[in-house]
Amino acid sequence: MSWIQKLYETYNNCDSAVGYSTERNRRPLLPICHVTAQAHIEVILDDAGNFMNAELVTDEDDATTIIPATEGAAGRAGIKPETYPLCGGLQYVAGDFEAHGGTVTSGFAQNPKEPYEDFVKLLRSWCESEFSHPKALAVLKYVQRKTLVRDLINSGKLFIGEDGKLLRKRQTKKDKKATKDIFDLTKPKPQDKAFVRWIVETKDNLERETWKDKTLWERWSEFYLSTKKKELLCYVTGKEAILAAQHPKYIRARGDGAKIISSNDTKDFTFRGRFHEVKESCCVSLEVSQKAHNALIWLIDRQGKVIWVKGDNGKWEPGLTVVAWATSGNEIPKPTDDTLSVIGFDDLPNNVPIEVSTAQEVAIKFRERMLGYASSLGKTDNVIVMGLDSASKGRLAITYYREDLSGSDFLKRIEDWHKSCEWIHEYRYKDIQDEFGKKKRYYQPFIGAPAPINVAEAAYGDDSDDRLKKTTVARLLPCIMDGNPIPWDIVNSAVSRACNRIALKDPKDKNEREWNKTLSIACSLYKNYSKEEYNMALDESRNARDYLYGRLLAIGDRIEGRALGLSKESRDTNAARYMQQFSVRPFNTWTQIELSLTPYLIRLGGRAKDLKDLLDSVMCKFDPEEFKKDEPLSGEFLLGYHCQRAELKPKPKGEDNSQNETTDNDDDN
């Protein structure tokens, strides 16, 4: 249970962050006994509970609403969902819901008034207690009048037919330019499923919105806890406490029903056979459970990585989730980020030019960023890394967990990973607008490590199964955090795909972005796996057979590419077409490629002197016996190929960012 203790500690250290984030569309750090809901309508009342006005919540980012909740309501499901105590759907908060043709959830069909009666009963018990709040009392006075649906109809927020009943769908075609109405907000559900929140105008309180009033949050929490009895010792705090009957869900994302702790049945032998009651198997207090889960939800949304997978129903569902955090609440780098993301590339707005102009500057900025983390984190701060995944919709498992990391140790492991996989990559881009408003795509080179999800895509393809991708990321976590070698099958798969250049070529992409991405990532992985010191620049002193063969292939590719460019031909070079065969049988394949270069050398004449001299120079570095071996090449040949290719690439004509646009061609042809 140490994970829950660490999250509980984190919540207490970050309690000043409880409430709404200043960043849009972020999940807030919730107070205990509260959840979030997506509101469609906000009703404005005065402090006496009189209806003043109503507005639709058309901004999706603003729709997230912090509302009081009981344990049962927070984890509600099924055909008879429990009511929330203050805000809720129309069937709960509107006493005239049935009179206007509203349809209740199927479990309430026998008694359609039940959800409204339950809501009023719970709200009244709160308002009649010592923990009452003026805003809650105003809401109670209003809902008891049973005029909510009528008021919303009169204010033009809900729509009725000729029979006076709520319409199930819009009857007339809506103008595309018209503002959003209730049907747009609740679709695909009908308007009677709208969720209502309250604004109360009071003389002595500046905060009108009930979902932002911290005094109201505190009053509800105090009231709800007062209705519970302390039972047993909490396993986390070691004190007698109110035990949690249910534990929160929606952990990885909104709508995610999987729970880490669950004991909702007593018939399928979940705990029967070992324990008679659920509290014998897991004693966690309500306060600890909610604080820990709320902290985890907040951390995942703020600094976690969720890998989404396509479910059997074709819908996207949250899969493997990785999150790392310091219990102090200080910012730390994500283990799942590439080097460019660590320095903040993802946070740049799309209309802001990229400031980092060279790959080397990225490496410098990375080191500066790590020093910044170190100065704010401190050597003694505890860092936790957690991986979560689910095999079913209801159960969430902790698949990876490390808590024995100090801040300095964590940062060293992250830095070691980025250094061990350091290579030159050019697949990251930003879509930005120029001064004329025209969008251009700029590719940003960087020196560093690829993100684990990019490794999975390089090894198995962008269109590979989502479950395979998330499994690959899970297998890479111990490599990042524990320094384990990258599994050979991942390295080998990336190397094999990089060798199959023709298969990765998109006819519409003359710059071969997908293949170049796979090539650079394969070089990163092989460098990490081999544990050798490879220079990212061309190493002319390296005489290893595989490295030299890679250089030969790059030179042959450049010779033919230059000749094709001269004659305005657009086709693949022999080096590109034979690359996979070359990796398996280099000696025989090189003989074919070299013979095919003769007409191109003749066509180029003096323009090929530099390349011909370079070719002769590399050939002379071979040991004759090693050269004649026709054994398959290791991934080292890709390093030689990549470095030689980069050395031969035409130098940019200028130093401005426009040299990185997709309209540029890396080759002469």
> What pLDDT, in 10s, does the model give residues 176-203?
778 899 999 999 999 999 999 999 998 8
Q: From the CB of residue 543, how many other CB atoms can be counted at a distance below 10 Å?
A: 13
Best CA proximity match to 236, nearest among 279, 271, 278, 282: 282
Residue whose token pair is 């957690």: 386
Residue 656 has pLDDT above 70, yes or no: no
Mean predicted confidence (pLDDT) in 657-663: 40
Residue 664 has pLDDT above 80, yes or no: no
Q: Amino acid identity, residue 388? A: L
Its sign, for the CA torsion 541, 547, 549, 550, is negative
pLDDT band at 339 (very low <50, low <70, confident <90, very high): very high
DSSP 608: G
The percent of residues above 70 in pLDDT, for the chain, comes to 92
Q: How confident is the model at residue 562 (pLDDT cuts 50, 70, 90)?
A: very high
The mean per-residue pLDDT over the stretch 644-658 comes to 68
Note the pLDDT of residue 355. Answer: 59
In this predicted structure, the answer to whether residue 392 has a pLDDT above a threshold of 90 is: no
Q: Would you state the pLDDT for residue 352?
A: 62
Structure tokens at 270: 């979940």
Q: Which residues 6+ apart lie within 8 Å of 118 measured at CB?
A: 82, 83, 92
What pLDDT is attached to residue 266?
A: 56
pLDDT for the residue numbered 668: 43
Q: What's the distance, CA 662 to chain centroid?
A: 27
Global pTM value: 0.88
3-state class (DSSP) for residue 17:
helix
Q: Flag the least confident range among 112-121, 140-149, 175-184, 576-585.
A: 175-184
Q: How far apart are CA 300 and CA 265, in angstroms?
A: 28
Mean pLDDT of 255-261: 88
Closest CA to 589 of 538, 629, 619, 625: 629
Judged against a pLDDT cut of 90, whether residue 394 lies above it is answered with no
What are the tokens at 302?
A: 């703020």
What pLDDT sits at residue 263?
67
Distance CA 71, CA 73 (A): 6
Residues composing the chain: 669
Cβ–Cβ under 8 Å, residues 70 and 224: yes
Q: Compute CA distances 282 → 5, 240, 247, 395, whole Å.
A: 14, 14, 11, 16
Distance CA 626, CA 228 (A): 79
Q: Which of 256-260, 293-297, 390-394, 507-511 has the lowest mean pLDDT?
A: 507-511
Q: Are 29 and 14 in contact (CB under 8 A)?
A: yes
Which carries the bigger pLDDT value, residue 302 or residue 379? 302
Going by pLDDT thresholds of 50, 70 and 90, the confidence category of residue 666 is very low
Q: What is the pLDDT of residue 351?
A: 63
Least confident of 28-42, 383-397, 434-448, 575-589: 434-448
pLDDT at 609: 93
Q: What percent of the chain has pLDDT over 90?
A: 66
| Mean of all residue pLDDT scores within the chain | 89
pLDDT for residue 657 is more than 50: no
Return the pLDDT at 441: 84
What are the φ and ψ backbone dihedral angles of 92, each rounded to 5 degrees?
Answer: -90, -45
Q: Which helix (H) or strand (E) holds 267?
A: none
> Which pLDDT belongs to residue 1?
65
Strand 64-68 with 88-89, pairing: unpaired
Lowest-pLDDT range of 202-216, 400-414, 604-618? 202-216
Mean pLDDT, residues 113-138 taken together: 96
Q: How far is CA 544 from CA 534, 638, 647, in A?
A: 12, 13, 18
How far is the C-alpha of 185 from the C-alpha of 169, rounded, in Å?
12
Pick from 17-26, 217-226, 314-323, 595-604: least confident: 17-26
As to burial, measured by CB atoms within 10 angstroms (0-12 exposed, 13-18 middle, 19+ buried), residue 492 is middle
Q: Which long-range contacts (CB under 8 A, 24 or more apart) does 281-285 make?
A: 282/235, 283/232, 283/233, 283/234, 283/235, 283/243, 284/1, 284/4, 284/234, 284/235, 284/236, 284/243, 284/244, 284/247, 285/234, 285/236, 285/237, 285/239, 285/241, 285/242, 285/243, 285/244
Q: What is the mean pLDDT of residues 325-333?
A: 92
